[in-house]
Amino acid sequence: MKFGDLDVSTPEGGAELYARIRSAALRVCAQPDPIWNAKSCVDKAIADAVTKVNQPALFAVYNNHHKPSLPRSTQLLSQTR
């Protein structure tokens, strides 16, 4: 997923990137099988993408939509390397 057109350090950029991540996760995790747990797949895909991008504005949007929120230590992971 490309997001070079966004300033992900701003709340607006974080919100737009979150929307793109969620949309992509919904497409990837959509399965016609009733046994498939699409919600779990979507939740994991979004959390993994937010963690990988590692931007405070994106974490803020994620944490407003999901409980429990991602741990703060995850947010600071790349800053300690």
Higher pLDDT, 77 or 24: 24
Q: Write out the residue range of the structural domain in which residue 67 sits.
A: 11-80
Q: What is the pLDDT confidence band of residue 54, given thresholds at 50, 70 and 90? A: very high
Residue 56 carries which side chain, given as an amino acid letter?
A: P
Report, as an integer, the average pLDDT of 15-21. Answer: 96
**Residue 60 in domain:** yes
CB of 14 closer than 8 Å to CB of 58: yes
Residue found under tokens 């490309």 = 2
pLDDT at residue 18 tops 80: yes
Cα(74)–Cα(76) distance, integer angstroms: 5
In a domain, 39, yes or no: yes
34 within domain boundaries: yes
Q: Are 21 and 3 in contact (CB under 8 A)?
A: no
In a domain, 20, yes or no: yes
Total tally of structural domains belonging to the chain: 1
Question: Of residues 28 and 76, which shows the higher confidence score?
Answer: 28
The verdict on residue 1 lying in a domain is no
Residue 46 pLDDT > 70, yes or no?
A: yes
Single pTM value for the model: 0.76
The dihedral built from the CA positions of residue 23, 27, 28 and 34, taken in this order, carries a sign that is positive
pLDDT attached to residue 16 = 96
d(CA 8, CA 11): 7
